[in-house]
Amino acid sequence: MALPAIALTLINFLHELFTILWIGGMLLLVLVIMPILKKQFEEDKFNQINKMIKNRLSIFTYVSIVVLMVTGLLLTNQAELTSRFLSFESPYATLLSIKHILFILMALIAIFRSAILDKIKGIEKEPRHKIAKILLLLNVIFAIAVLFLSSYLGVIALV
């Protein structure tokens, strides 16, 4: 059943808003906040501030993941160029499925990084920070790929 235009507009708006919130937060953290903190503070103070920022951003990340899952499924159900979630029946459906797989990986990495990594016993502080940094950078790469795929899919739907 096709949703009214205003409902689709609201769903798409929320999808874009929470994409910006999550991905924008990651990019801001990696490109602006962490480099400034690294230059201004000793390692212990940097780690303390970084942990506070991570805890605050995690709230937005979790809310974004939930909203993006709900709105993404609603938008996928309305898409005329694909028939179901994780479908590979056409080039459009394949690219959309790749985008969804990247989103799932991003969500798993974000949850692992913010809620699980610090609780794993036996990992020293320095390797733990290195793992967290690598996972954040990996998520930024996935995020950029998701944004590119979203843009490309929007163009494909128009032509």
pLDDT by residue (tens digit) across 104-141?
999 999 999 988 888 888 888 888 889 999 999 999 99
Alpha helices in 79-123 (DSSP H): 91-111
Q: How far apart are CA 145 and CA 150, in angstroms?
A: 9
Q: What is the pLDDT of residues 61-70, one digit of tens each?
A: 999 999 999 9
For residue 26, pLDDT beyond 90: yes
What mean pLDDT is predicted for residues 53-75? 92
Residue 86: band (very low, low, confident or very high) from pLDDT cuts 50, 70, 90:
confident
Question: What DSSP line would sit under 52-76, residue for residue?
Answer: HHHHHHHHHHHHHHHHHHHHHHHHH
Q: Based on the number of CB atoms within 10 Å of its own CB, is 52 exposed (0-12), middle (13-18) or buried (19 or more)?
A: exposed
Task: Give me the pLDDT at residue 93, please.
Answer: 87
| Residue 71: pLDDT band with limits 50, 70, 90 | very high
Q: What is the mean pLDDT of residues 59-84?
A: 86
Verdict on whether the full-model pTM lies above 0.95: no
